Amino acid sequence: MQQMARRLNAPLASSMGRLFDAAGAILGVSLANQYEGETAMQLEALAGRRPAQPLPFPMVATSDRTWMLDPVPLLIALGEQRARGVGVAELAARFHESIAAGADQLAARLAADAGLGTVVLSGGCFQNARLLVSLRARLEARGLRVLVPRRLSPNDGAISYGQAAVAAALLHQEENL
């Protein structure tokens, strides 16, 4: 708690994985992971292919005029609905659809602001088939072209490949000067 209060070796996290961990804790699925992504995989399995309506996951402007998704209303809604007796599998499905709906809204806004017609979906959370399929369908329904990794994993392991490609391009530029 002291580390968090002083922000000493306790950075803020913005990864989707931590949101899945929070949802899993609220729903009583998992309080600790034995490996990265464990809770996310459990929630995906619980959600299955069950149709569900999204819960609130609002897009808000920050003080520096960037856009972000506010997870607090989503997490509160999950807790309230669980307390009312809604089943964990149903709430896992609603959670997935909430993320897809929120990410769709945010990506569409950012693409429109930048004048882009293509969106790239990558990162560890897109190993989650339910999330990927739902978000891709939403974006394509808006007329956006969606690209996803095919030759490399969408996970962090591909970051080193990208870093190596950038380094090679920079070295090539230097050699041609």
Q: Please write the tens of the pLDDT for every residue from 130-159.
A: 999 999 999 999 999 999 988 888 887 777
- Is residue 4 predicted with pLDDT exceeding 70? no
pLDDT at site 10: 67
Specify the fold of 2-175. Answer: Nucleotidyltransferase; domain 5 (3.30.420)
Taking the C-alpha atoms of residue 121 and residue 107, their distance in angstroms, rounded to an integer, is 10
Taking the C-alpha atoms of residue 118 and residue 115, their distance in angstroms, rounded to an integer, is 9
Q: Which of 152, 123, 108, 159 is closest to 15 using CA atoms?
A: 123
Give the side-chain half-sphere CA count within 13 A for 156.
5
DSSP string, 17-36: HHHHHHHHHHTTS-SS-SST
pTM assigned to the model: 0.84
The domain limits of the chain are 2-175
In order of 148, 162, 171, the CA distances from 39 in angstroms are 23, 28, 41
